[in-house]
């Protein structure tokens, strides 16, 4: 309603995913920006008629003339920071891990079931993808099926394993449930060594199927994602290249949009409300008629389905991965995502995944940038923070090209930062980044009043 966006006249309007027009416009614009981010502005980058004799170096590009309209010939990315090719890979990783984090959020954030075995279900999905989508013949098991079979099957197999483990898990709570799910990780690592036909060698792993979309087992895929393509621009005036990284990024973005929509709908459905009732007070929920065992099994199954899909996509994205990489460290990373982003909130999980994956990249990039500074304020900051291994430097961070001594390298500092952030958020902001966003939003809603 105009002027009263929070005045709802039905339960359906109140429970909508995006209840206000402002939210719909903001989310739609943000998703459109994500889709356009890997590409340049504009798409017309080829030669056009009546070029200026001397090109204009404006904003890193050159203007030419099409009729009477100036056209930027050498485009710039929509988002210079994350749209560069070097950032497409971590952004794709954000989308893939966000799918797994959304599944864990339904289990831990909505249903209140602690799990440290999320990496095991990702590994189950990856192994399913390896068998069903792997190459035919050879020493490794592979059926050579297309992606529209092996990707959903990865989630289904992982969900079946989650439901099979569920009867034992639903009898436990708290720390005991965490220890049970923790044991699954070590079982998965052991099984990857026992069955190298599935997971490959312990160190080298095996080659996983690519994202190419085929109808069946034909040589030429219907949509080729694993190689570059030449695409015709607007009005057929020019062509531009679409790299493998850009196509993989777009595929992962489409998948995370679909899975986010699915997770959001599950959270606001009857099943989602049952999850929240069990989380808040399981005994009271059962007294009110909520079948605790049934909905806990559903929570484990749905969470495992999301993890299986993400595991298959992660393995295909990395190309080659060993079975022992689906370890406890990966499960702890998902716990960090939920705590930093905000457990029980879909948008908080997405923010947490972006924060946890991009922060180490930023720390590494800033460290490399500081290592190149020799004068000025940035040079003084580099001398204060960095050490090159010499006796006169006492910086706490070792330079990327220097073997770590008493100072911590970038990887170790990322671990320290995550630990500190988890402690800080648990003490001061249990809702994580989502809670900070709520505080900022409520402040500007009430400004300039203090109440």
Same domain, 106 and 51: no
Q: Where are the beta strands (DSSP E) in 233-347?
A: 239-242, 320-321
Residue 90 lies in a domain: yes
Same domain, 343 and 400: yes
C-beta of residue 321 within 8 angstroms of C-beta of residue 191: no
Residue among 166, 167, 186, 169 at smallest CA distance from 177:
169
Domain boundary among 294, 326, 358: 326
Q: State residue 37's pLDDT score.
A: 85
Domain boundary among 294, 309, 326: 326
The Cα 227–Cα 208 span in angstroms is: 16
Residue among 253, 391, 339, 304 at smallest CA distance from 123:
304
Burial (0-12, 13-18, 19+ Cβ within 10 Å), 416: exposed
Residues 6+ apart with CB under 8 A from 344: 105, 109, 110, 276, 279
Q: What is the DSSP letter of 52?
A: -
Residue 154 lies in a domain: yes
Same domain, 191 and 261: yes
Instruction: Provide, rounded to the nearest whole percent, the portion of the chain with pLDDT above 70.
Output: 81
Distances from the Cα of 102 to the Cα of 43, 305, 400, 432, angstroms: 34, 11, 33, 15
| Stretch (H or E) spanning 180 | helix 174-194
Residue with the bigger pLDDT between 414 and 307: it is 307
In the predicted structure, residue 203 carries a pLDDT above the cut 90: no
Distances from the Cα of 329 to the Cα of 67, 116, 179, 344, 415, angstroms: 58, 10, 15, 22, 11
Q: State residue 271's pLDDT score.
A: 94
Same domain, 415 and 389: yes
Q: Where are the beta strands (DSSP E) in 3-138?
A: 40-41, 63-66, 69-72, 76-77
Q: Look up the domain containing 228 and give its range.
A: 86-326
Same domain, 107 and 141: yes
For residue 265 the two structure tokens come to 């709908």
Instruction: Provide, rounded to the nearest whole percent, the portion of the chain with pLDDT above 90.
Output: 39
Token pair 């602690």 is at which residue? 114
**Residue 198, Cβ neighbours under 10 Å: how many?**
19
The Cα 42–Cα 384 span in angstroms is: 43
Helix axes 346-371 and 328-341, enclosed angle (nearest 10): 110
How are the residues of the chain apportioned to helix, strand and coil, as percentages rounded to the nearest 5? 60, 10, 30
Residue 2 lies in a domain: no
The Cα 435–Cα 343 span in angstroms is: 10
Distances from the Cα of 69 to the Cα of 56, 172, 262, angstroms: 14, 69, 44
Q: What is the DSSP letter of 105?
A: I
Looking at mean pLDDT, say which of 124-138, 359-373, 406-420 comes out highest. Answer: 124-138
Q: State residue 279's pLDDT score.
A: 92
Q: State residue 402's pLDDT score.
A: 59
Q: Give the 3-state secondary structure of residue 320.
A: strand
For the ranges 183-197, 266-280, 399-413, 428-442, which has the lowest average pLDDT? Answer: 399-413
| Band of pLDDT at residue 200, cut at 50, 70 and 90 | confident
The Cα 347–Cα 351 span in angstroms is: 6
Q: State residue 391's pLDDT score.
A: 56
Total domain count, the chain? 3
Residue 15 lies in a domain: no
Same domain, 61 and 96: no
Report pTM.
0.86
Q: Which residues pair with 321 in a beta bridge?
A: 206
Residue 40 lies in a domain: no
- Range 227-251 average pLDDT: 71
Q: State residue 260's pLDDT score.
A: 96
In the predicted structure, residue 350 carries a pLDDT above the cut 70: yes
Same domain, 338 and 322: no
Quick: pLDDT tens for 53-112: 444 333 334 444 444 444 444 455 556 556 567 788 999 999 999 999 999 999 999 999
| Band of pLDDT at residue 235, cut at 50, 70 and 90 | very low
Domain boundary among 287, 303, 326: 326
Q: State residue 20's pLDDT score.
A: 80
Beta pairing class for 69-72 and 397-398: unpaired
Residue 320 lies in a domain: yes
Q: State residue 122's pLDDT score.
A: 95
In the predicted structure, residue 52 carries a pLDDT above the cut 50: no
What does pLDDT average to over the chain?
Answer: 81
Same domain, 170 and 250: yes
Same domain, 135 and 239: yes
Residue 176 lies in a domain: yes
Same domain, 234 and 345: no
Q: State residue 68's pLDDT score.
A: 45
Task: Return the C-alpha torsion angle 116, 119, 121, 125, nearest 10.
Answer: 170
Q: What is the DSSP letter of 106?
A: I
Residue 17 lies in a domain: no
Same domain, 321 and 336: no
In the predicted structure, residue 403 carries a pLDDT above the cut 60: no
C-beta of residue 99 within 8 angstroms of C-beta of residue 155: no
For residue 98 the two structure tokens come to 């966000």
Beta pairing class for 397-398 and 386-387: parallel
The Cα 385–Cα 370 span in angstroms is: 9
Same domain, 144 and 158: yes
């Amino acid at each position: 309603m105009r002027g009263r966006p929070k005045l709802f006249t039905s339960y359906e309007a109140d429970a909508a995913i995006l209840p206000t027009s402002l939210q719909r416009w903001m989310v739609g614009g943000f998703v459109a920006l994500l889709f356009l981010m890997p590409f340049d502005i504009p798409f017309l980058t080829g030669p056009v008629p009546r070029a200026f004799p001397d090109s204009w170096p404006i904003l890193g590009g050159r203007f030419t003339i099409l009729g009477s309209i100036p056209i930027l010939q050498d485009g710039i990315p929509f988002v210079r920071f994350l749209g560069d090719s070097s950032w497409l890979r971590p952004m794709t990783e954000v989308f893939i891990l966000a799918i797994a984090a959304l599944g864990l959020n339904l289990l831990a954030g909505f249903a209140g079931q602690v799990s440290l075995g999320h990496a095991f279900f990702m590994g189950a999905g990856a192994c399913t993808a390896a068998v069903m989508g792997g190459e035919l013949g050879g020493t490794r098991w592979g059926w050579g099926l297309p992606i529209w079979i092996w990707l959903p099957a990865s989630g289904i197999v992982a969900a079946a394993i989650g439901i099979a483990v569920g009867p034992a898990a639903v009898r436990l709570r708290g720390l005991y449930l965490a220890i049970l799910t923790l044991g699954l990780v070590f079982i998965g690592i052991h099984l990857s060594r026992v069955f190298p036909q599935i997971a490959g060698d312990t160190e080298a792993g095996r080659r996983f199927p690519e994202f190419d979309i085929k109808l069946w087992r034909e040589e030429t895929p219907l949509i080729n994602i694993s190689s570059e393509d030449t695409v015709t621009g607007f009005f057929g005036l020019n062509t531009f290249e679409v790299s493998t990284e850009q196509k993989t990024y777009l595929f992962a973005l489409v998948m995370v949009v679909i899975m986010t929509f699915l997770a959001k709908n599950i959270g606001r459905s009857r099943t989602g409300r049952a999850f929240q009732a069990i989380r808040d007070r399981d005994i009271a929920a059962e007294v009110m008629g909520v079948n605790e065992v049934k909905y806990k099994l559903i929570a484990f199954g749905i969470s495992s389905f999301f993890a299986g899909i993400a595991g298959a996509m992660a393995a295909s994205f990395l190309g080659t991965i060993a079975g022992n990489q689906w370890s406890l460290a990966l499960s702890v990373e998902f716990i960090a995502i939920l705590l930093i982003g905000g457990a029980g909130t879909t948008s908080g999980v997405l923010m947490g995944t972006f924060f946890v994956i991009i922060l180490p990249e930023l720390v590494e990039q800033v460290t490399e940038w500081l290592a190149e500074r020799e004068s000025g304020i940035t040079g003084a900051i580099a001398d204060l923070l960095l050490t090159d291994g010499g006796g006169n430097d006492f910086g706490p961070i070792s330079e990327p090209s220097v073997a770590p001594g008493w100072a911590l390298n970038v990887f170790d500092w990322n671990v320290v930062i995550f630990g500190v952030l988890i402690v800080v958020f648990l003490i001061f902001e249990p809702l994580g980044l989502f809670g900070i966003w709520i505080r900022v939003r409520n402040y500007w809603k009430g400004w300039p009043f203090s109440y």
